[in-house]
Amino acid sequence: MQNFRSASSILRRFMQNSRFVSKSRSFCGVSTNALIDEPENTVVVEGKAYSRTAILNRPHVLNAINCSTVARLMKLYKNWEDDPDIGFVVLKGGDRAFSAGGDVVTLYYLLKQGNFQGCKEFCWTIYSFIYVVGTYLKPHVALLNGITMGGGAGISIPGTFRVATEKTMFATPETLIGYHPDAGASFYLSRLPGYLGEYLALTGDKMSGAEMVSCGLATHYSHSAKLPLIEEQLGKLITDDPSVIERSLENCGDIAHPDPASVLHRIGILDRCFSHDTVEEIIDALESEAAKKQDAWCVATLRKLQETSPLSLKVSLRSIRQGRLQTLDQCLRREYRMSLQALSGQISNDFCEGVRSRLVDRDLAPKWDPPSLEKVTDDMVDQYFSRLTASESELELPTQQREAFT
Contact criterion met (CB below 8 Å) for 249 and 163: yes
Catalytic site includes residue 174: yes
Q: Order the strands of the 220-221 sheet from edge to edge.
A: 43-47, 51-56, 88-93, 140-144, 161-164, 220-221
Going by C-beta distance under 8 Å and a sequence separation of 6 or more, which residues neighbour residue 94?
A: 44, 55, 56, 57, 58, 59, 63
CA dihedral 37, 333, 207, 102 (to 10 degrees): 10
CA dist 296 and 226 (Å) reads: 36
Catalytic site includes residue 150: no
Q: Which one of the listed residues 102, 194, 323, 354 is annotated catalytic?
A: 102
Catalytic site includes residue 85: no
Q: Which one of the listed residues 37, 103, 150, 174 is annotated catalytic?
A: 174
Contact criterion met (CB below 8 Å) for 30 and 59: no
Which of 177, 119, 178, 141 minimizes the C-alpha distance to 52?
141
Contact criterion met (CB below 8 Å) for 133 and 152: no
Q: Which one of the listed residues 134, 150, 151, 159 is annotated catalytic?
A: 151
Per-residue DSSP letters for 313-378? HHHHHHHHHHHTTS-HHHHHHHHHHHHHHHHHTSS--HHHHHHIIIIIS-------SS-SGGG--H
Q: How many CB atoms sit inside 10 A of residue 278's CB?
A: 13
Contact criterion met (CB below 8 Å) for 73 and 129: yes
Q: Which one of the listed residues 182, 240, 246, 350 is annotated catalytic?
A: 182
Distance separating the N- and C-terminal Cα atoms of the chain? 26
Catalytic site includes residue 87: no
Active site residues: 102, 151, 174, 182
